[in-house]
Structure 1
Amino acid sequence: MYTIKAVAEATGIPPATLRAWERRYAVVRPPRSPTGYRLYDESLIQDLRVMRELVAVGHPASEAARIVAGRRQDVAAASPSPPISELIAAARSADPAVISAAVAAGLAAPLPVAVSGWLVPALTAVGEGWVDGTVGIATEHLISHAIHRALATRLHRYTATARAAPVLVGLPSGSHHELGALAFAALAARDALPVRYLGADLPAAAWVQCARQTRAAAAVIAVPTHVDVATTRRTTKALASVPAIRVFAGGAYQDDICETATPLGHDIVTAVSVLRARLESRP
């Protein structure tokens, strides 16, 4: 549990604002210690980060609070996600049917809930297991391929033919860690944004060519590792030659290219709302 001072330092939200949001909008209701101090857990801190990002892109605080409350209700209404250990055990069986069933169970909730509550923690756990040697390369590949298939199916289901200028989503040249970008694309398509998913390892020239051909309204480039920063910078600079396009970045290292692309924030679900708000506002 964290005090209001610690939360302010972790989120960049001043204590006075935290108190005002609680008093005016009930965005969070932290319990009190026996001596009357507010105490925040990780879930409340995440709600506050989402609120901060929504307000930062222009949502009125009252509207942002309603979005946060809706997310919280979706999580509460969803069935509990299966343990991540079940996914890893399934992958170790090397049986595609067993692995697909484990992924389907993890993604059974509404997609925003499944991404925040199961997919992101699962990918984190698998990555950490790969680093410490408890998850082998073959196991990691089996999990990744099964998740990729499931997300691609969702993306195809949500994507509709639209005449609107598209939003291009993908990764720069040399970048292959695409599950976060694919999840974002599926979430954005579910939210009726005209997404065209370009996939991994796309050279800057191909980004520019596609943007010109489709007259894209926006490009969202994932920056999942520090190795991707330099190639993403080259891509965003090349896209500056495309008329009227707006360039955004997601992923762990998005803040490293904020001079050439607008960061969407580190919560994949909230990033969709941030993108929509940016696109609906003037450049």
Structure 2
Amino acid sequence: MTDAARFEAASSIAAVERDTGLPKDTLRVWERRYGFPAPARDANGERLYPPEQVEKLRLIRRLIDHGRRPAGIVGASSEELSRMLEDCLCAGEGAAAARDDSLLQLVRLHRSLELNAALRQALMKQGLQRFVADTVAPLATAVGEAWMRGEVDVPEEHLFTEQVQNVLRSAISAHAVAGARPRVLLTTFPEEEHILGLLMAEAMLVPEGASCLSLGTRTPLADIRTAAVEGGFDIVGLSFSIAYPARQAIDGLLELRASLPPAVGIWAGGAAVRDKHKRLPGIRVVGDLDDTLVALQEWRAAHA
């Protein structure tokens, strides 16, 4: 970032007070006593705080809320503060941050490091499958509802998705087993760009011994067919968000079903196809995350 861009992105002391909850007088005292924060000055001599300092102040405030003294943490780096916060959460001091409303608040306030720490703590406590069902899925619903109310904008939604993806991908990699069955190919149709549904499904399946490969999002139907057949996959799993047109999802699924060998199963999940099983013969409509495990049991019973 150039100096000019950094200057434009800087926050006034009033904005920092609103954002972090740290009083202006406290910020001035810390500046004199600890040398941090170290704001720039505008043409009128008013303090301007760059984004990285504001993010660090957010972490400091959270740690103070957990009982840490300013003298022991103000001089630490953002990375060190993030680790301290994660330690607090692991010790049970941040149990409230694991609640859906608290996590949503972290999304709203762009507190990415704290959100990441809270998600990882919830994962440690719940295990991968329950973390997906009891934390990620409700939080995704809450973020979506906040979007509809105009309380969350594109940057906040991207922050949420990025942090959840990072946590899920790391956890999935730790559970993956090569050569397991069934072999599941995961993707979305060309106009569907939401990947979180795929990751949640994969996180439910991999601990059960399924072998999953994700093509990512927006894959043409012909490419899905080619990958499924040439790759020897048992199942093609597709996710449809609430924004995807139901009629388009149904037409695409029926076209894909007609193009695939009968031995290759198709699982479809997400809000756009929920309760559409009567209109999708030959396709397993997955109602929710727990139903993913039911579908897996059905497949294994049929292929014992």
Shorter-chain TM-score tier: 0.5 to 0.7
**Aligned residue runs from structure 1 range 1-283, under 5 A:** 82-108=98-124, 109-162=126-179, 164=181, 166-225=183-242, 226-227=244-245, 229-231=247-249, 233-243=251-261, 244-254=263-273, 255-256=275-276, 257-265=279-287, 267-281=288-302
The Cα of 1:227 is off from its aligned counterpart by 1.8
Partner-residue secondary structure (3-state), 1:201: coil
Partner of 2:79: none
Asked if the contact 1:175–1:228 (Cα under 8 Å) also holds between the matched residues in 2, the reply is: no
Q: Which has the higher contact order (CA 8 A, sep 6+)?
A: 1
CA change 1:248–1:234 in 2 (3 A) is same
The Cα of 1:248 is off from its aligned counterpart by 1.7
Asked if the contact 1:106–1:119 (Cα under 8 Å) also holds between the matched residues in 2, the reply is: no
CA change 1:199–1:251 in 2 (3 A) is same
Q: Distance in 2 between matches of 1:122 and 1:165?
A: 29
* Structure 2, unpaired ranges of 5+: 1-94
The Cα of 1:103 is off from its aligned counterpart by 2.1
Q: Distance in 2 between matches of 1:106 and 1:177?
A: 23
Taking structure 1 as the reference length, the TM-score comes to: 0.64
1:34-90 CA deviation, whole Å, 9 max, x = no partner?
A: xxxxxxxxxxxxxxxxxxxxxxxxxxxxxxxxxxxxxxxxxxxxx898112322332
Partner-residue secondary structure (3-state), 2:191: coil
Deviates more, 1:85-94 or 1:153-162: 85-94
Q: Distance in 1 between matches of 2:297 and 2:213?
A: 15
The Cα of 1:231 is off from its aligned counterpart by 4.4
Q: Distance in 2 between matches of 1:247 and 1:180?
A: 15
The Cα of 1:178 is off from its aligned counterpart by 2.0
Larger radius of gyration: 2
Deviates more, 1:79-88 or 1:237-246: 79-88
Taking structure 2 as the reference length, the TM-score comes to: 0.60
* RMSD (CA atoms): 2.5
- Equivalent pairs counted in the alignment come to 204
Q: What is the identity percentage for the equivalent residue pairs of Structure 1 and Structure 2?
A: 22
Asked if the contact 2:96–2:102 (Cα under 8 Å) also holds between the matched residues in 1, the reply is: no
